[in-house]
Amino acid sequence: MRIIFRYLFNATLLTTLAAIGIFVFILLVGNAVKDVIALLASGQLSWGTFFLTMVQLIPSVASYALPIGFLCGILIVLGRMSSNNEITALKASGVSLWQMSVPLFWLAFLGILFSLFINFYYGPVSITHYRSSLANAVRDEPTRFIQAKKFIKDFPGYILFIGEKRIDRLSDFWIWELDKQQRVSMFLRADKGTFQYDADKDAIILKLFKGIGEKRSEKSPENFKNAAPPTLLYEELSLQLPLKAIFGDNQGGKRLGYMTLFELLDEQAKVSANTMLKPPDKRLQLTKIRFEIQKNFASAASVLSLILLAIPLALQTSRSETSANIGIALALGLIFYFLSIVVSWVENNPAWHPEILIWVPNALFLVLGSILFRRANRY
């Protein structure tokens, strides 16, 4: 029995690690395409910063890759053993499905512990460092973030256009200041300008030299015929472009998804002790915090629920093809995450108790897996 247990444990562990590595790579590529590939291609991000941010992002995406990786590992190993009649041979030798599953459940237990560490510490820390690295790249070289002959809409409230960019200077500035309705309220032109980072304000300071400006009508700023003549002639003008609107505020206002377990508990205690909040607002904030905590617990527990479903499913399908098992794993994983997303739609509705509903996908998979497991053990 020890040889059988060791064989199942080692084979499943190696296959699971390989599957997790593949899914982590796929998720990293997806995040890179979404966030940093465009910055890298346009020269706004250096290769060193690109590789650093990708490494920092690994723990964050691993929290999604772990459950599917375990599911895929079980399906591949047991599916191959079933197709080769190894499962039948073990049953004929008096080894029940429960006994064969002991090393797999031990593996699930280790996966749950590792997933908890990822979800409550390494994941939030990595995503925080990832966003900080992107922001620091702009802070260290603010001119790298600016591209010539392109409309720059990254700074809320402003649209920038720079006609010429050289190593030592920027020239031909066109700037549109927008109101709350995203209408042009002020137009500025300047012959040249500079970008500098202000650490105290965590903002890029744009200094314009030798320019003019005109203010649009407050009633109809989009009507250029009624625009006032140039009302501003300046030798030097400074604009403050906050980075927190793009990368988040390092001084506070941290998103719940970027908090560790202890930070979430501290935030929950602060909200509970805040007597200035109205009861509905306090209840909503507490619900969001509890939902985030329970979501991380449920994500870790999904390793067990998915493995319990994967064991009998692998015996029923009896597929030795790796591609087929990966396809089944992806389908089940997508169903699980889709159900979790559906539950997150009521996150802002405390009356629905989303912190409890987030366990529904796990409960469904556990019930279905238990039924199929008992049937597979019986026959």
pLDDT given at position 252: 46
Residue 326 contacts residue 19 (beta carbons within 8 Å): yes
Checking if the pLDDT of 228 tops 60, the result is no
Q: Which long-range contacts (CB under 8 A, 24 or more apart) does 23-29 make?
A: 23/64, 23/65, 23/68, 23/69, 23/72, 24/58, 24/61, 24/62, 24/65, 27/61, 27/64, 27/65, 28/54, 28/57, 28/58, 28/61
By percentage, how much of the chain surpasses pLDDT 70? 83
pLDDT tens for 244-279 read: 655 555 444 567 888 889 989 998 898 888 888 888
pLDDT tens for 40-84 read: 666 666 777 778 778 888 888 888 888 888 888 888 888 888 888
pLDDT given at position 250: 46
Give the pTM. Answer: 0.70
